[in-house]
Every structure is written in C-alpha cells, then in structure tokens.
Structure 1
Amino acid sequence: MEVGVVLPVYNQKPQYIDECIQSLESQKFREFQLVIVIDGANQETVQAVKEASNMLTIPYEIIFRNENKGIAYSLNQGFSHLNDCRFLTWVSSDNRHDPKFLQTLYEQFVNAPEETVLVYSLFKLIDQNGRNMRNDVIHRETQLKFMSRNKADILHQNFIGASFLFKQSAFVKAGGYDTRFEKVEDYEFWIRLLGIGEIKFIPHFLLEYRLKGEHAYTTITPPDDIRIKTVAASNYHYMKQGKTPKVTVMTSFYNQRKYIRQAIESVLNQTFEDFQLILIDDGSTDNPWQEILQYKDPRIIPLKIENSGKGSALNQGLPFALGEYILELDGDDWLEHDTLETMVSEMSQQSGDVGLCYGNRKIWFQKRYKPIPGPVHKGMNYKNKYEVLTELKTHCPRLYLKSAIDHIGGWPTSIAEDFEIMLKLAEHYSFYWIDKTLYNQRRLVNNLTLIKQIECQQQLKDIIEKVLEEWGGHYKPQFIENKGMIEKVILSKES
C-alpha cells in the first residue's frame, strides 16, 4: 500500500468513532491500509470500534491493548505495522475527513520535490455536535496567514495542524514519536521531522477537527498544561540546537491593536539582532492577531492567554524566555533603534550583583490619532534598597538579568507590579542606570493606573508596608499625599 494510516483510540463517544471510520471508508484514494490501536479504552469504545470497522472494505488491522500508554506510544506501535507504506499519517477518533483527504495529500506529495518530507493542509473546526464553528471565508483567511510559514518557525509555533502526510523514510530517520512529550507529541515530532527536509502547504480544507468533545484532550487537559508541555518541547530543541538568544523581549498587551505594530517593528528594527520577541495577548477583544500574523519573523513567539493582568501574563510567557536578559515592552510603547545594543553592552560590563538596568524614557501624549511629544523622565542611581522604596519611581526600559527574575519567582500580580518588582529585586541585587533616552512611553486617557487610582494607591501602601516588614521591620512608613496620590514616603525608626 502507498499510504499507512494509524487511528489511536482511547475512551471515545461511539458516534464519533463511527463518523471517523465512515469518513475513512469514503476516501476516493484506496491505496491505503489502516491500523487501529486500542489504547486501553473502555468496553463501550472497544465495541464501537469493532462495529464501525465492519463497514471497512480497505485492509485494516486492530491492535488491542488493555493498558493505556498514550498517543505517542500507540503511534509508534501502529506505524511499526506499516513498514511497507511510502507515506504515513494518523487521525483522531473524533475527527471527520473529506473524501479527497488522502487523495489530495498523496497527489501533492508525489508531485513535490524529492526533499519534501511533509505535506499539510487547512482544516475546519466543528463542535461536539458536528456543526461548523467558524465562517469558512474568515477561518480560511486566518489559517492561511498562520499556516503558510517557513519551516524554521516550527521551533516556536506549531503551525502544522491536524491534516498531514509524511514520508515513511523521514519518520524512521527522525526516530518516531517521543513518549516524553505526551500531549504535544506531534509538535515535538514536527521539530525533528522538519530538520530533515522541506514542507509543502496545501490551501484546501481536507479535515474537520472536533472541539469540545467530552473525551478530547483539548477538553480534558487544561490549556496551561498544554502550553507548558509545548514550551518544554520547544526549549528542549532550542537548547539542543544552541539557538538561545542573548535577549528576550517580552510584550504583554490588552486591546492595543492600533499600537502593537509600532511596538513590534521597534523591536524588529533593532541594531542588535540576537533576540526573541514574546508577544503575549492578555485576552484582547480587538483582534490584534490581524496585525500579529502579518509578521513571519521566526524570532517572534505569539501567545494568546485568558485575561489575567500584566504580571500574570508576563509570568505565563516566562517559561518561553531563553535569553540571558529580559526586556519589558508594553504593547502601546516603542523602543529606540539602538535600545538593545546599548543596554546589552552596558549590562555585560556590570558585576554579577546587578540584576536590573534601565535608561530614560520619553513621554508621548496620545491626542486622538497623533502622539504629542512630552518630557523625558530620567532614571537615577540608588544608594540602597530603602531609597528605591522611598523614591517611588519606576523606570523604562527595564532590562533584567533572567536569573534574577527566576530568583524572585517572576513578576508580582498587583496593579503596581512594575514598582513591586523593583522592590523585590532591590533586596538581592544592585541596579544600574544608563543616562540615555531608550524608550518611548505612550500616555493614554484610559491608562490603568489613572482608571484605578484609588485601588492603585492603596496597593502601593500595602506593598510598602509588607516589604518593610519582610526587610526586618526596622522602619515605619509615613505617606505624604496630594490629591489622593502618594508623593513621598518618609521612613521613621520603629520604637
């Protein structure tokens, strides 16, 4: 047979199994063999597989295993029974396949250049009832932008999807699926497979991928768990290939679509090029992905999370950060063209106890559609951690030693996270000020600090009191306020 197909089956709804196997039986292309691997499924599922497979007129085999060992193990076992097939693929038991699914993938493959190891296509999304979840025109446009990528992008983003066919010889050379990366076994396999040869993208819908099924791993596995496993696979290969960047730029944003391109391009246009850019969409509702997907730079790692606030968003992006240094950039701000070069050069000359360096920032007041230039806010040098506390200042841009961020456990999740992280760092590290304007900060009417002024000021008081207690309780704070804003903190010795 030309094509070998593996269908791993764990507990599944009988209707979905029936629909999946029926869609395989309906394939126009008939030169394929099917291996069904029962991966410790319950009796209802086993019976559903037996009944559904009775309709098959193509060669098939069922492997029964009482112990559940996961998809990666099942795939390797299934493919070991298909050694004579030139091409391989696998399918999920709750998906449905277009009658031209195998025919199109096969024809595209045999007409592709010899060095091609994988062909893949668009796929539709259906819900638990089999209904289309997206407008086909809009979904097609979005998938085209996301999936038509260079193969190097696989190191930081899985763009392959669920509809694919790969060479048997490449599968063997890559070493099959790795059981250490269960739940993201496909993604980790693609990284190794794409290191062997080229890919070909087919811009046609060939498969219906079911979401929200009660047994689907995307339903039973929390998104954060999948994200962490994805990070582990990506970082494993980055480090294995020695591709760790010097700097990680981390940009979290919420509903800043109109400004995000300027932020991104200010990073991509840096004179210093050894960086990665992690874009963390903190649950935006203004569809920033229309802008983000325009960029194909492999140094960009786009993440979409549920809205949780800036500190939490940065922490969720932190496992992806591979740089020795981390630079923070808000989604509505932008860098000077030499920001990274200047800061990395200065930071690399400091002693190991310097955990943070920063420069000066220029303020821009957003008036309708045009930013109006404002003053430059300079940084400062501090004598000790208590001066960091009493001065109540924050600085931009901030370049952190990543090991320092790891040491303090990541970012605080308060509204005043930028001030609180300075206090946490000040307990263990020194700071260094670069007297040069390196950052452009946009001031908006809906600035979060202004909107939540009362809450923010109370949090500042709580943070300061808590930190002083953690620092030994030697001082008591007195807050000098003006129109509800804390202007100064005076410390007095505890009696």
Structure 2
Amino acid sequence: MFSIVVPLYNKEKSVSRAIKTVLEQNYSNFELIIVNDGSTDNSLDVVEKIKDERVKIINKKNGGVSSARNLGVENASTDWICFLDADDYWKPNHLEIIAELQNKYQDGKIYSTLVCENSEKGVQFIENSLPDDFEGYINDYFSLASKGTIFHSSSVCVSKKALLEVGCFDTNLKHGEDLDVWFKLMMNNIAVVKKTGTAVYDLLGENRAMNLKCMYEKHLLSKIDNYRSIKVPNLNEFIDYYILRNSVPYYFSMDKNKVYPVLYNVKEKKETKLIWKCIYSEKLFLGNFFLYRLYKKLRMIL
C-alpha cells in the first residue's frame, strides 16, 4: 500500500487532473493525502468535491511546498510515500510499476520511474545516461545524475522511515528542496529505477513558468557545497557540475556579486569538460563563435 502526498497551493485549474490520474491507477491500494497549503484560489473547493474514501484533505497555513510535503509524510499511515505535484500527472501504470519493482527488489528504500516533460512541443521523454530499457539498482547515482535527471519528486516512492531519518524536506529552501532530499537519501540508501516514463512534469502548469525564472537558490548551493567532505564516489564531481549549471546562467542575467561567491567554491575551476557540459546542458543553441566566447568568459570567472 502507498501513501500519495500532493502538496497544494493555488492550482485550481490543474489539481483535478492530478487527482484523477491517481484515482484511475491500475494499482488501487493507496491513500491520497492532499495538503492544502493555505490556497487563496478555489483549489480547496475543487478537491472537496471529489468523493473517494481513499482521499484525505489536510488544511494548513501557507508555509511552502516543503512544509506541506513534510506534513503529508507525518500523517501517512503506510510505510511507502509517493509524491505528486498538483500540476503534474501520472500515467495509469505508474503505481503498478513501482509495486512490481518493490516485489522484485525488496531491499530498496527508493523506487522510481522516469519523467516525461510536457511543454509547447508536447510530451517528451527526458533522456538521461541510463541504458535503454534499464531496470535495476542505481550503483553510482552522482555520476549518473551529472548526465541527466534520475529522480523527480513526482516519480519517486520513498521509504517513510528513510525520509524521517534524513529530516524530510528542508523548509528553509524555496527551490531545489527535492534535490537536497535525494542528496541525503543517496548517501546510504539503496535505489531502484526502471527507465520508463510514467510521470509527466508539466512545464505549462499554473505559475510554473514564473517559478522556473527564480530557481537560483544560494542557500541550496552552499548547503550542497558542504557535502564535499562526505566520501561518496563521484559526489564532488556532481557538486561542481550542479553549482556551475545552476549559477552560470544567473551570472550573466543577474547580480554577478550574488553568484560569484558560490562559483568561486567550485573545486574543478579549470575543468574544460565540466564547463562545456554546463554550456550544453542549458541548451544554449548559439553559433560556435558565441559558444567559444561564452567558454572563455567562464574560464575567466572560474
């Protein structure tokens, strides 16, 4: 049995779709916990109209997505927690596949499929470095994660005990709170992944375009930088990559003095491959001349 936690804040146009895809899952043994985080629109009215004994609604004052998820975890009656953002949705076989993975790999603490991305181009699978049709244990998470998304909040199922042991989601973070949790979980927990897209991350969701423009989170980058002392394979390489990837775009579009201290902490300061990886991961489709100029600027910064 699963406990599905849906944090809800002002998603009146999309939350019914998210809930509908949960209630229509092929696997039906679950409870659905909707945590209304002080919505000021009609979100609460929408979810209260849904009549299903598996649905539980919790109301709280607005405190952010992390506090909403944490409250959902605390109130979960099962040992396994799935998350779904209110503007994302699942394909009908999502929970079925997670249950199959649990039966097949019983020592896991994290089970996940991959996500598709819904944009103006339609729904597309988000590729990563896992082989096609991959299913099994993730043995080198940080190396794989530096080449593409492995976990997404709307695609994972996590042991409640493991979540509580790492302190759940950091309520001090406005963005990147899920990445922080994956960091902490993957230090000493077993993860199992099946490379199939059963969750859809909706870039066209309410308020999401605005949020994507505000993803710079200095506190998160500094916190991640402090993990360097932990002896985990390829952790430092991923930290450098993540800091570069998330700081560099803001160096050119925001206050350079705000971003520079974080960039300065990157250890691999002259790593050519790392810089080029960051340029291409941001999909900066520029001419070769402009790419080279950008590369030279990054070398000067770092």
Instruction: Compute the TM-score of the two structures, normalised by the length of structure 2.
Output: 0.73
Local SS of the residue matching 1:188: helix
Residue in structure 1 matched with residue 4 of structure 2 by the alignment? 5
Deviation at 1:3, TM superposition (A): 0.7
Change (3 A) 1:173 1:327: closer
Counterpart AA for 2:72: G
Residue in structure 2 matched with residue 451 of structure 1 by the alignment? none
Contact 1:13 1:215 in 2 (8 A): no
Q: Could you tell me which of 220, 226, 233 is aligned with 2:223? A: 233
Contact 2:18 2:86 in 1 (8 A): yes
Residue in structure 1 matched with residue 270 of structure 2 by the alignment? 328
Q: Equivalent residues in 2 for 1:93-492 (5 A)?
A: 93-114=86-107, 116-127=108-119, 132-134=122-124, 136=125, 139-140=126-127, 142=128, 144=130, 150-153=140-143, 159-161=150-152, 162-216=154-208, 219-226=210-217, 228-239=218-229, 241=230, 298=238, 301=241, 303-304=244-245, 306=249, 319-322=262-265, 327-328=269-270
Contact 1:6 1:90 in 2 (8 A): yes
Q: Could you list the runs of 5+ residues in structure 2 that have no partner in the other structure?
A: 276-288, 294-302
In our comparison, the structure showing a higher alpha carbon Rg is 1
Deviation at 1:35, TM superposition (A): 0.8
Counterpart AA for 2:103: V
Q: For 2:269 and 2:163, locate their aligned partners in 1 and report how far apart those are by CA, in whole Å.
A: 39
Counterpart AA for 1:328: K
Q: Percent identity?
A: 15
Local SS of the residue matching 2:241: strand
Segment drifting more, 298-307 vs 20-29 = 298-307
Q: For 2:80 and 2:155, locate their aligned partners in 1 and report how far apart those are by CA, in whole Å.
A: 14
Change (3 A) 1:233 1:299: closer
Deviation at 1:242, TM superposition (A): 7.4
Q: 1 or 2, which has the higher helix percentage?
A: 2
Q: For 1:90 and 1:166, locate their aligned partners in 2 and report how far apart those are by CA, in whole Å.
A: 9
Local SS of the residue matching 1:181: coil
Local SS of the residue matching 2:178: helix
Q: Could you tell me which of 21, 34, 37 is aligned with 2:35? A: 37
Q: For 2:32 and 2:56, locate their aligned partners in 1 and report how far apart those are by CA, in whole Å.
A: 6
Q: For 2:274 and 2:97, locate their aligned partners in 1 and report how far apart those are by CA, in whole Å.
A: 44
Deviation at 1:77, TM superposition (A): 1.0
Q: For 2:100 and 2:191, locate their aligned partners in 1 and report how far apart those are by CA, in whole Å.
A: 14
Q: For 1:210 and 1:119, locate their aligned partners in 2 and report how far apart those are by CA, in whole Å.
A: 21
Residue in structure 1 matched with residue 62 of structure 2 by the alignment? 68
Q: For 1:155 and 1:203, locate their aligned partners in 2 and report how far apart those are by CA, in whole Å.
A: 14
Matched, 1:92 2:85: yes
Counterpart AA for 2:171: T
Greater relative contact order, per chain length (Cα 8 Å cut-off, separation 6+): 2
Deviation at 1:63, TM superposition (A): 0.8
Change (3 A) 1:224 1:176: closer
How big is each residue's C-alpha offset from its partner over 1:194-236, in whole Å with a ceiling of 9 and x where there is no partner? 22311111111111110032322x533534524x344133123
Residue in structure 2 matched with residue 78 of structure 1 by the alignment? 72
Local SS of the residue matching 2:216: helix
Local SS of the residue matching 2:10: coil
Counterpart AA for 1:25: L
Contact 1:126 1:211 in 2 (8 A): yes
Deviation at 1:33, TM superposition (A): 0.5
RMSD: 3.8
Change (3 A) 1:307 1:38: closer
Deviation at 1:30, TM superposition (A): 1.1
Contact 2:251 2:259 in 1 (8 A): no
Q: 1 or 2, which has the higher strand percentage?
A: 1
Q: For 1:133 and 1:308, locate their aligned partners in 2 and report how far apart those are by CA, in whole Å.
A: 31
Instruction: Compute the TM-score of the two structures, normalised by the length of structure 1.
Output: 0.47
Q: For 2:129 and 2:145, locate their aligned partners in 1 and report how far apart those are by CA, in whole Å.
A: 18
Contact 2:143 2:235 in 1 (8 A): no
Contact 1:181 1:188 in 2 (8 A): no
Contact 1:4 1:88 in 2 (8 A): yes
Q: For 2:65 and 2:144, locate their aligned partners in 1 and report how far apart those are by CA, in whole Å.
A: 21
Q: Could you list the runs of 5+ residues in structure 1 that have no partner in the other structure?
A: 244-273, 278-297, 334-443, 449-495
Contact 1:10 1:38 in 2 (8 A): yes
Change (3 A) 1:188 1:275: closer
